[in-house]
Every structure is written in C-alpha cells, then in structure tokens.
Amino acid sequence: MKSIIFIAPPAAGKGTHSTLVEEKYGIPHISTGDLLRSAKNANDDRAKLISELIEQGKLVPDEIVLELLKERLAQEDCKNGYILDGFPRNVSQAEAYDKILSEINMPLGNVILLELDKEIAKKRITGRLTCPKCNAIYNSEAEELKPQVDGYCDNCHVELQHRSDDNAETYDVRYDTYMRETAPLIDYYDAKGVLFRIDSSVGKERTFKEIEKIIGE
Ligand code: AMP
C-alpha cells in the first residue's frame, strides 16, 4: 500500500478524506495538526509557543513538527504506509521529509491535491465540529457531514467542539499562509510525477470516489 499525502487549503476536506482512506485501506491517519494540538497540552515553553502559533493561524517551526512526526512514523502501524494530513506544509518540510524517507527506506507514495475555492472553504469552517476524543470531523452546515445526534460524536458520543482557530478571521491568515508556504509544494510534487488533482467542491461522496480511483481497490 502506498502512502498518501493530502495537500489542500484549510477546511477543504483533508481530515475528512484522510479518515475515509484510513477506514477503507487500513493505514493510519497522521495529522500534524492533531499531533501539535496534543503537544500543546504540556506545561512547557514549547507547548506555549505551539498554542500561540495555532491561534494565530501561523506555521509551527519545522524542528518541532519534524520531531513529532519522526516519533509517530517510528511506530509499528506505519510500516505498511500511512496518510499524511497537514504535512508537509512548506518546501523545507518536504525536503526534510525526502531525507527521512531515504533513512527509513520508504517510498514517497502519491500526493493528492484537494482544490477548493477560498470562499467555499471559509463557509465550511464556521460549521466545522471536531470530536475531542477521536478527532472525527463533522459539519453542521453540510447535510452529509452532520452528526447523527446534534452536537455529539457518532463514535464516542462525547460533545463535539468547535476548534478555536476555526473562525473567519484566523481563516484568512491560514489561507494566506497556505498560498505563500504550502502552494509551492504543488510544483514540487508535480515535478516528481506523483501529484493528482481533485476538485473538492463536488461533495464528500464524489470527491472520495476520485480518491479511490487514484489509490485503487
Ligand atoms: P490543521 O489541523 O492541519 O488545520 O493545522 C492546524 C494548525 O497547526 C496550523 O494552522 C498550524 O499552526 C499548525 N500546523 C499543522 N501542521 C503543521 C505543519 N506541518 N507545519 C507547521 N505547522 C503546522
């Protein structure tokens, strides 16, 4: 099974589709955003810095992200491939990741770009709800993404939360950060011949069908 990297503007469906790929293909979903949100609960200077940068919609320094990612990739469940959601976020992370892959002798796999217009993504963000226990993502604004019981996770039955950086103001900063730092990865991976583009405005089911075509049965 090949590993998958999702690249997309914030709220374009990286998390949702990573979870669907994890369920269908049985490879772990690694979100650097989730790794950082867990790390920010520690009581130290690093946690404070992570917390501030996430709240501002800015990128956390590469060294911190790479340290957390390396730890996660060393775990047994990553041996047969994994899904990267939110990493790499800039060209220097992509270059560092190429080095990690050659050290652990793993292939790059496929890179899937989920394309979505800024204004549609911004609307999605206001309704986005996350389970604090299993990190499942719901959306009160989209019929197909609503939880079965309003406000509660379908799997864990705990109360869903609205991420504090999911607001219109921080979204603009996050989107600008994406355009400036992350969008150059499109050319980076296109040049390696591993990039696939998918229109994410057509809804969850149709988008996932396109992803399945890329990954295969
Ligand atoms: P996400 O959950 O992917 O939307 O990420 C939420 C926030 O975590 C981002 O706005 C960044 O502040 C931080 N973050 C997540 N992944 C990375 C990364 N690969 N590099 C730097 N910062 C990141």
- DSSP code, position 200: G
Residues 195, 189 contacting (CB under 8 angstroms): yes
The share of the chain scoring above pLDDT 90, in percent, equals 88
At 134-148, the pLDDT tens digits run 989 999 888 889 999
Closest atom of ligand 1 relative to the 87 alpha carbon: 19
Strand ranges, E, within 28-159: 29-31, 83-85, 110-115, 128-130, 137-139
Q: Is 180 a catalytic residue?
A: no
Q: Is 163 a catalytic residue?
A: yes
CA of 96 to the centre of ligand 1 (A): 16
Q: What is the pLDDT of residue 149?
A: 96
Indicate which residue of 37, 40, 89, 122 is catalytic.
89
CA–CA distance, 96 with 123 (Å, rounded to integer): 34
Residue 91 main-chain phi, psi, to 5 deg: -65, -35
- DSSP code, position 193: T
Rounding to the nearest 10 degrees, give the CA dihedral for residues 71, 74, 80, 85. Answer: 10
Q: In the chain, helix, strand, coil percent, each to 5?
A: 50, 15, 35
Q: What is the pLDDT of residue 159?
A: 97
| Ligand 1 pocket check for 8: Cβ under 6 Å | no
Residue 36 has pLDDT above 80, yes or no: yes
| Ligand 1 pocket check for 175: Cβ under 6 Å | no
Q: Is 174 a catalytic residue?
A: yes
Q: Is 14 a catalytic residue?
A: yes
Closest atom of ligand 1 relative to the 11 alpha carbon: 4
